[in-house]
């Protein structure tokens, strides 16, 4: 029974990764591209409508919305850039070995 418990324990431990693999699948990449596109579209639309608004309070809120989506866009862009740099380092590091 002791060996059986060890096997079960090992099977449970193998089910969970300590860290996810460093891969962006095609589906993930498409989702990230969509998110960036949505944010960029909102930025453009809100900026356009903010220029049309006369009420300064509404205009200020629209600028805050625009800034929020710019931050989201930049975070996604930075994440993709960081992933690209790391994956290039990993591939070039593996080739040097």
What are the structural domain ranges in the chain? 25-96
User: How is residue 18 written in tokens?
Assistant: 């300590």
Q: Give, for all 97 residues of the chain, the pLDDT tens digit.
A: 566 666 666 555 567 767 766 777 888 889 999 999 999 999 999 999 999 999 999 999 999 999 999 999 999 999 888 888 877 777 776 544 4
User: How far is the CA of 71 from the CAs of 1, 5, 14, 77, 82, in angstroms?
Assistant: 56, 50, 38, 10, 16
How many CB atoms within 10 Å of residue 69?
A: 20
Neighbours of 28 (CB within 10 A): 11
The rounded distance, in Å, linking the Cα atoms of 63 and 58 is 9
């Amino acid at each position: 029974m002791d060996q059986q418990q060890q096997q079960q324990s090992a099977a449970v431990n193998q089910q969970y990764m300590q860290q996810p693999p460093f891969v962006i699948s095609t589906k993930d990449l498409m989702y990230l591209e969509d998110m960036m596109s949505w944010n960029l579209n909102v930025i453009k639309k809100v900026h356009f409508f903010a220029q049309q608004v006369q009420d300064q309070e509404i205009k200020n809120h629209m600028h805050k919305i625009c800034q929020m989506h710019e931050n989201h866009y930049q975070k996604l862009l930075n994440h993709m850039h960081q992933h690209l740099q790391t994956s290039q380092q990993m591939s070039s590091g593996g080739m040097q070995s």
